[in-house]
A and B are shown apart, each in its own frame.
Chain A
Amino acid sequence: MAGLEFRDVRKSFGAVAALRGVSFAVADGESHAIVGENGAGKSTLLKILAGILRPDGGAIRWRGEALHLASPREGLERGIGMVYQEMLAFPNLTVTANIFAGRELTRRGRLLEREMRRRTEALLGELHLPVRPDALAESLPAAHRQLLQVARALAFECRVLVLDEPTTALTDAETQHLFAVLDRLRARGVTLLYVSHRMPEVFRIADRITVLRDGGYVGTWTAADVSSDVIVRAMVGRDLPTRAVGAGARDDAPVVLEVRDLTRAPCMRDVSFSLRAGEIVGLFGLVGSGRSELLEAIVGLHAAQTGEIRVGGRPVRIGSVRDAVRHGIALVPEERGRQGLFFNLTIRHNLVLASRAARGGALVRGGAERAEAGRLLRDWRIKAPGLDALPDALSGGNQQKVVLARWLATGPRVLLLDEPTKGVDVGAKFDIHEIIRRQAGAGMACLVVSSDLPEILALARRVLVMRDGRLRGELRGAEATEARVMALATTDLKDVS
């Protein structure tokens, strides 16, 4: 049945063609995934569908009728609801006000608060969201804020729900909750358009999968008849070589970092582990398990209350990131936008900032700096318009590589990585994994925190699991399966004892 149809949709920003004639159709009631690397044109397509951008050419038809949307409001009125990747909530407004923002129920301009509250209660019940309608959005956990957007789409009885990477900020349990909600919507005949980088999610949700690459349409596959390898190959346009799992250091390599009984209540307690030269160790835990706090305590961002850190066998005091760098420890932080990049500084400055700070000295030697930055750009295959461009000009994957390169330039012996491939496309993810493996091959000890369990299992030779601020176990080699790691990360204390 004719549902949503894209016909030769084109859009350019200046000289850059974001969409070069994309045509495909989504059947009514279908669950359809759109995948592609960053820059493939997915977001542009969605923004056109939502009425935020207008296409340069082509048309979108909905049930046989042409859609000419001038604003997101018209999109909503035509029954197209969006769930965006970013947390688009109004932190200062209540749950009810968030759901009805821009389309409040009114009588002669006056808000019908009671009616809106009543409908919100019904919607929250439908979504199994344990949230008060009067709670402020800022008091909700990330997942609930994301589900507010779904509730909002439901409030307007949307026939099409478009979800743009909705799980980026969600934990696994929260993702499962979202999927359960989506399943119920599908059963009701709502058409889903789902954009994601994560293959397991795409196959979990979608009936059919459309691949975009470089602004062009590559093809559409029926999910049941295709493997994720085929889709990934279509996305990147090349074969990604696979690597043997768990390669790397031997057990007799020297210990470079040893953490003993590190405690910072209530985030983490009595954490002890060690890293050997040349090994990649995974650290897995759900959001709130204390994994980021552990990394931040090691590099001196938070003072630990008790415990000891040894580098190369000698106890060290690390009271700041400067101390950490001096002892050869570097942290690539979780949020490159907030904790990593300086968007007001050029890529060159972003690259050399940490190594220069570590070296000290008052004078800036432009030539040497330029040479170093240029070398980093080449070494780590960072695609940038130039050394003097701003980080805005880079794709997410290349931004992440800039942050990674910055810390590698300090010459660390221990590299801590917090979600190193969060929100980057498949190609960049592969490159980042290669960089980590190369560093380990050269003798660096790497600790990788990731919510992406397959990523950890592919990279690491052993996996540490954290829950409620404590290390719950270590799994090595073949015993590290998704099921066992997950079990350690989620089981309640009482079930273990």
Chain B
Amino acid sequence: MRSDTSRVTGRAAELAPPGAPAAAPGAKDRGRAVLAALWEVRELSTAVILLLEILFFAWYLWPEAGRPHPFLNFPNALLILKYSSIYGIAAVGAAIVIISGGIDLSPGAVIALAGVVCGALFVGSGVPLPAAMLAGILTGGAAGALAAVLIVTVRLPPFIATLGVMGIARGAAFIITEGRYFDLSARLVGGWRPLGIPADWVPPLVMLALAVVFQILMTGFQWGRAVFAVGGNETAALFSGIAVGRVKASVYVLSGLLAAVAGVVLAVVQGQGKADLATGYELDIIASAVVGGASLSGGRGSVMGAVLGTLIFGVLRNALPQIPGATFYDRLIVGLVVIVIVVMDQLLLKRRK
């Protein structure tokens, strides 16, 4: 570690303009080298935006003396994390699909379907909870597999294929529930504490674990490299001997599975499986991935960025309603934020080049 730092410093010193005080290596140059390296980390700008956002709301919602802060407190932070993680878990899959050059419109519907299947088995048929959850997740995998077949074998455009799957999944959820909903909380006497973890902690932890695993898979493993390659230039990928069909199929199955994980977690934590849950989530999920650096033309993006993107929206959704008079403005502000962040990102990208 130490030798690494000194090497960087040495190079920075070489690059110093002639005439600059030569005897001033050290802190300043090292700082610059570190900054340059951080500049390359794409996720960082998303994290900085999130931080600025939190600071802004902390300042804007600062209470009168003696009263508790309505935004900056631990229960509220946990609330934000809990609700964001439903989007976040699905956004991991959405980011991977977008990096591969595709799009998935089905996560909202798959979230609902997986929750309903889990609820129907657990409440309706008395199946043990872990088995019911697994069944729900596999249902999502099946929805993803259907999209994969339509895209890879039938060669439908991803937009159309996943639009179809979205309708099928949502429809199946309504058929299963017949307009009712499954009350899981009634059968979860004493609450749900898997491995002794409080239920509210489960969604954020699942999100974090999945984000880390898939970030590593995407950056350090052959499969992830293939996803980037297919998204960057599909023809070249084909000519390079990458199994393009298999890679594309894998990302849709994965997206289905991850949305379903979000769905069963939501169903169990909220205590109900309903067919109209998560309506319209797909666009928020896609927006999160894009705000997190994914390019809808493929080949660019990151899993971590997408998860940070969902947190940016989670904080907005939590804090805006607390601002007096902002009630009717929150959707508008969320829309503006998407545009501003993506435009900023493009400007940064240009400067980096």
Contact = CB atoms under 8 A, between A and B. Distances in A.
Interface of A: 50, 52, 71-76, 82, 84, 86, 88-93, 97, 101-104, 106, 109-111, 113, 139, 152
Given A88-B235, A101-B237, A102-B241, 8 more contacts: A74-B241, A88-B236, A89-B236, A91-B233, A101-B240, A106-B221, A109-B223, A111-B221
Interface of B: 220-223, 225-226, 228-229, 231-233, 235-242, 298-300, 353
Contacts, number: 78
A73 B241 contact: yes
Contacts of A76: 241
A82 B239 contact: yes
B233 A88 contact: yes
A90 B232 contact: yes
B221 A101 contact: no
Nearest to B299: A92
B241 A97 contact: no
30 contacts: A50-B239, A72-B240, A73-B240, A73-B242, A76-B241, A88-B235, A88-B236, A88-B239, A89-B233, A90-B229, A90-B232, A90-B237, A91-B232, A91-B233, A91-B299, A92-B298, A92-B300, A97-B225, A97-B228, A101-B236, A101-B237, A102-B229, A102-B237, A102-B241, A104-B225, A110-B221, A111-B221, A111-B222, A113-B220, A139-B353
Given A91-B233, A92-B232, A52 B239 contact: yes
Contacts of B221: 106, 109-111
Contact of B229 (A82, A84, A93): A93
Nearest to A74: B241
B233 A90 contact: yes
Contact of A103 (B220, B231, B241, B300): B241
B196 to A, nearest CB: 33
A361 to B, nearest CB: 36
A317 to B, nearest CB: 32
A226 B346 CA distance: 55
A411 B221 CA distance: 59
A303 to B, nearest CB: 22
Contacts of B225: 93, 97, 101, 104, 111
B22 to A, nearest CB: 26
B235 A102 contact: no
Contact of A72 (B226, B241, B299): B241
Contacts of A75: 241
A73 B241 CA distance: 4
B37 to A, nearest CB: 12
B299 to A, nearest CB: 4
A322 to B, nearest CB: 31
Contacts of B233: 88-91
A101 B353 contact: no
Given A104-B222, A109-B222, A109-B223, A90 B228 contact: yes
Contacts of B222: 104, 106, 109, 111
B256 to A, nearest CB: 23
A477 to B, nearest CB: 46
A95 to B, nearest CB: 13
A74 B238 CA distance: 12
Contacts of A73: 240-242
Contacts of A91: 232-233, 299
Contacts of A110: 220-221
Given A88-B233, A90-B232, A91-B233, A102 B242 contact: yes
B171 to A, nearest CB: 34
Contacts of A109: 221-223
Contacts of B237: 90, 101-102
B353 A71 contact: no
A93 B300 CA distance: 9
A279 to B, nearest CB: 43
A71 B241 contact: yes
A52 B235 CA distance: 11
Contacts of A103: 240-241
Given A90-B229, A92-B299, A102-B229, A111 B353 contact: no
Nearest to B233: A90
B232 A93 contact: yes
A152 B239 CA distance: 12
A43 B141 CA distance: 40
A102 B232 contact: no
Contacts of B231: 92
Most chain B CB neighbours (cut-off 10 Å) among A76, A93, A101, A109: A101
A215 to B, nearest CB: 23
Contacts of B229: 90, 93, 97, 101-102
A75 B298 CA distance: 27
Contacts of B298: 92
A84 B233 CA distance: 14
Contacts of A84: 239
B235 A86 contact: yes
A447 B232 CA distance: 38
A109 B238 CA distance: 20
Given A104-B222, A109-B221, A109-B223, A90 B238 contact: no
Contact of A93 (B220, B228, B238): B228
B244 to A, nearest CB: 10
A79 to B, nearest CB: 13
Contacts of B240: 72-73, 88, 101-103, 152
A76 B239 CA distance: 10
B220 A90 contact: no
A106 B229 CA distance: 16
A388 to B, nearest CB: 25
A87 to B, nearest CB: 9
CB-CB nearest 9 A-B residue pairs: A73-B241, A92-B299, A102-B240, A92-B232, A90-B232, A88-B236, A102-B241, A102-B242, A72-B241
Most chain A CB neighbours (cut-off 10 Å) among B225, B228, B237: B225
Nearest to A52: B239
A102 B222 CA distance: 8
A419 B94 CA distance: 43
A1 B226 CA distance: 39
B232 A111 contact: no
Nearest to B240: A102
Contact of B242 (A74, A101, A113): A101
A86 B353 CA distance: 24
B77 to A, nearest CB: 35
Contacts of A86: 235
B324 to A, nearest CB: 45
A90 B239 contact: no
Nearest to A113: B220
Nearest to A84: B239
A108 to B, nearest CB: 10
Contacts of A71: 241
A152 B240 CA distance: 10
A109 B216 CA distance: 12
Contacts of B220: 110-111, 113
Contacts of B242: 73, 101-102
